[in-house]
Amino acid sequence: MSDDDLDFPALRLLRRDEPFPPEAVDASLERARHRFETAANAPTNRTAPARRALLGRSWPPVGRLRPALLAGATVVVTGGLVVSGIGISHWAAPETAAAATLHEAARAAAADRAPTGTYTRVSESELSLAFATSDGEHYDEGYLAPTTTTTWVPQDVTGTWVRRTWSGPATTFYGGAAARDAAAQDYASSAHRDDPLWQRAAGGDFTVGELGGEQPGTLIAADIAGLPRDPAALVRRIEAAPRAVDTTDAEHVFGTVRQLLRTGLVPADLRATVYETLASLPDIVVTERQTSLDGRQGTAFGLRAASGKERQEIIIAPSDGTYLGERTLQTERVGDVPAGAVIDSVSVRSEAVDERP
């Protein structure tokens, strides 16, 4: 077990300079003890393939990197981990600028009165990284390629969803011939605008993709209607869901609401609650005050102490409370892919419609 395995929220609380309520420390230490025992008793055969070291994920040798699907699949049922959780009311105050901006977005979202229709049409414009190998051993080159996905979701989300997907040619290359050859092969085998891939699935249970196809136990579109509209209660509900091994409380909440927002199905009242929840997370920061995503301007938020070689961000327009999308930045250089590169970005647009294909 590495030192990182011991970096539980309880230990970080004890390292803070400001006074902290004893009951919060005691509760967090209890959580740390449970998590430590879980990690210590876990099977030891969790060694991932060598390729996993590149971005902390596993992926096929050539193909699109889709973080929402390929993030650590090993989860633990948290029932035994959250009985003494510190909860939202005990978390440290976040950065003032981030909290104030999120409160503004929450107020705007609560006032949103978007029309409803027979279906919700969710359009995703994604630009994501795929790796390539220049020597057959090291995945040291890469390319960014776009994918456009449109999903028609019925009001009764248990009904039949329809999805259309197509890919475009690569737009950015990191490296040389290997990246360009892999991109050409990928594009040749992909569905294109004039011949898109069509899928239908009950309840959005597609075999792949962010809209549908979820890990057992995680929150999905069918859970949205019943989720609490109170920030503290929402945190408790999220904490009861499975999480990736060694994920902190803040990372678990941030990652869960990020995935919920990406569905494009979160109604205005729950969106306001989500923003208030984000405002209460420790270490939530404005990573970029003004950024453009698919021609729309918004503010990017992330966690200051997020672990791993990537930083995930949520992009929101504070003035009207619109969720614009998300992006993932690489924080360390991997082969020819530099630190700071945006390795995945997706713009999400939702609108009510009365018909589907």
8 A C-beta contact, residue 275 and residue 339:
no
8 A C-beta contact, residue 112 and residue 351:
no
Q: Buried b vs exposed e over 289-311: b needs ≥16 C-beta within 10 Å?
A: eebebbeeebbbbbbeebebbbb
Instruction: Quickly state the pLDDT bin for 324 (edges 50, 70, 90).
Output: very high
Name residues whose C-beta falls within 8 Å of residue 204's C-beta, 6 or more positions apart in sequence. Answer: 151, 153, 157, 161, 211, 212, 213, 220, 221
Predicted confidence (pLDDT) per residue in 57-83, tens digit: 322 323 344 332 223 333 333 332 232
Sign (positive/negative) of CA torsion 137, 140, 146, 151? positive
Predicted confidence (pLDDT) per residue in 243-291, tens digit: 888 888 999 999 999 999 999 999 999 999 999 999 999 889 999 999 9
Q: Inform me whether the pLDDT recorded for 88 exceeds 80.
A: no
Global confidence as pTM: 0.72
* Residues 217-229, mean pLDDT to the nearest whole number: 89
Predicted confidence (pLDDT) per residue in 304-323, tens digit: 866 678 899 999 999 999 99
Question: How far apart are alpha carbons 339 and 329 in whole angstroms?
Answer: 8
Predicted confidence (pLDDT) per residue in 139-157, tens digit: 999 999 999 999 999 999 9
Question: How far apart are alpha carbons 327 and 336 in whole angstroms?
Answer: 20
pLDDT at 92: 52
